[in-house]
């Protein structure tokens, strides 16, 4: 019997098809088991990497260093003992602290009980120190002919004005910090979008962007590093996003965090949400630049009128005035 006759037999074809079917079944189940093992291995590696990130971020928070020592998280430093005693003895928390004090300090970059104690002590000690300094100056250095009670009234007024000095300093720190974050936020969104589209998780994306953005904005790197730590050990990811928006106090950051919360809650594409918010951030920055450029002509009007136009008139009119005076002097001499 030749090979062709054997191949064309019915029994051989049935056996061949049965063998192929059995092999396909074995291959299908085998690949499914192998795929499950690979998925389990990837999940295990992701869990190990998550635990590693959690340990690194916790150690970084305790040590106070961020992103290769390029920035530092200003945690709650220990206040002086006399500050603690003054705050506890005079019950300054009840007098000066309200529901928004901690949030305002966090927006300025000051976190922890130590900074809160220092701020409350400054609210208490600054007006007293200014009152004592102004009273000493008015009563003993430059008393003049003013009565004593008038000097004391002036000192009390200076102390009352000085009581707002810690609030102004806190507001100034907040504005500088928000300006730094606002300038770097569009670039941060672009980097986050690149990391997410490259396949990184949000924890890895925030960690990577915190390292890269530190050279441009140390404040934003601090906030992103703290958010990375919160994403690692908080049970609810939305709390980490909400905390970032609350700490920065910027509407743009809150909008992006709201988009991330909705994407995480409803299962929509995080990359698409970041792409839309990144485009809006670039458009907002361009509009801000156009607004500043449009505001330049009115701002330059007064300096031009005061400094430029008088000099221009002098340069234009001086030759004519010199000729007129020279002609008048010559006519006077000839007439005399």
Phi-psi domain of 97 (left: phi exceeds 0; alpha: psi -120 through 50; beta: other): beta
pLDDT at 166: 92
pLDDT at 127: 92
Give the contacts of 170 (CB within 8 A, at least 6 positions apart): 104, 105, 108, 119
Residue 14, judged by CB atoms within 10 A of its CB (0-12, 13-18, 19+), counts as exposed
Q: pTM for the whole thing?
A: 0.67
pLDDT at 314: 86
> pLDDT (tens digit, 9 = 90+) per residue, 292-316?
888 888 888 888 888 888 888 888 8
pLDDT at 132: 93
241's tokens: 């996003």
CATH class of 181-288: mainly alpha
* CA-wise closest residue to 79 among 102, 106, 107, 110: 110
> pLDDT (tens digit, 9 = 90+) per residue, 26-67?
767 666 655 555 555 555 655 565 566 656 655 655 554 444
pLDDT tens, residue order, the chain (336 aa): 566 666 666 676 677 777 777 777 776 766 665 555 555 555 565 556 556 665 665 565 555 444 443 344 444 455 678 888 888 888 888 888 888 898 899 889 888 788 889 999 999 999 999 999 999 988 888 877 788 888 899 999 999 998 899 999 999 999 999 999 998 898 999 999 999 988 888 888 998 998 889 888 888 998 998 888 888 888 788 889 999 999 998 988 999 999 999 988 888 888 888 888 888 888 888 888 888 888 888 888 888 888 888 888 888 888 888 888 887 777 777 765
> pLDDT (tens digit, 9 = 90+) per residue, 145-175?
788 888 899 999 999 998 899 999 999 999 9
Which sequence spans correspond to the domains of the chain?
181-288
């Amino acid at each position: 019997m030749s090979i062709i006759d054997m191949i064309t037999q019915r029994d051989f074809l049935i056996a061949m098809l049965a063998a192929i079917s059995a092999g396909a079944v074995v291959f299908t189940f085998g690949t499914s088991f192998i795929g499950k093992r690979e998925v389990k291995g990837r999940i295990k590696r992701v869990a190990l990497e998550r635990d590693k990130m959690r340990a690194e971020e916790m150690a970084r928070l305790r040590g106070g260093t961020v992103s290769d020592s390029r920035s530092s998280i200003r945690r709650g430093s220990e206040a002086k003992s006399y500050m603690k005693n003054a705050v506890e003895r005079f019950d300054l928390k009840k007098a000066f602290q309200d529901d928004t004090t901690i949030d305002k300090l966090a927006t300025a970059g000051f976190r922890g009980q130590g900074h809160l104690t220092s701020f409350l002590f400054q609210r208490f000690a600054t007006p007293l120190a200014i009152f004592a300094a102004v009273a000493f100056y008015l009563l003993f250095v430059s008393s003049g002919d003013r009565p004593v009670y008038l000097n004391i009234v002036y000192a009390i007024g200076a102390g009352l004005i000085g009581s707002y000095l810690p609030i102004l300093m806190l507001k100034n720190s907040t504005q500088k910090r928000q300006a730094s974050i606002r300038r770097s936020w569009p670039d941060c969104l672009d980097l986050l979008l690149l990391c997410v589209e490259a396949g990184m998780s949000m924890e890895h994306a925030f960690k990577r962007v915190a390292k890269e953005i530190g050279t441009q904005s140390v404040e934003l790197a601090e906030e992103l590093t703290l958010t990375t730590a919160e994403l690692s050990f908080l049970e609810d990811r939305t709390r980490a996003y909400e905390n970032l928006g609350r700490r920065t106090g910027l509407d743009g950051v809150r909008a992006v965090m709201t988009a991330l919360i909705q994407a995480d809650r409803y299962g929509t594409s995080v990359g698409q949400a970041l792409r839309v918010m990144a485009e809006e951030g670039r458009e907002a920055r361009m509009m801000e630049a156009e607004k500043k450029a449009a505001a330049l002509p009115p701002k330059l009007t007064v300096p031009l009128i005061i400094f430029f136009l008088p000099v221009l008139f002098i340069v234009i009119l001086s030759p004519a005035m010199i000729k007129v005076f020279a002609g008048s002097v010559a006519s006077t001499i000839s007439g005399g």
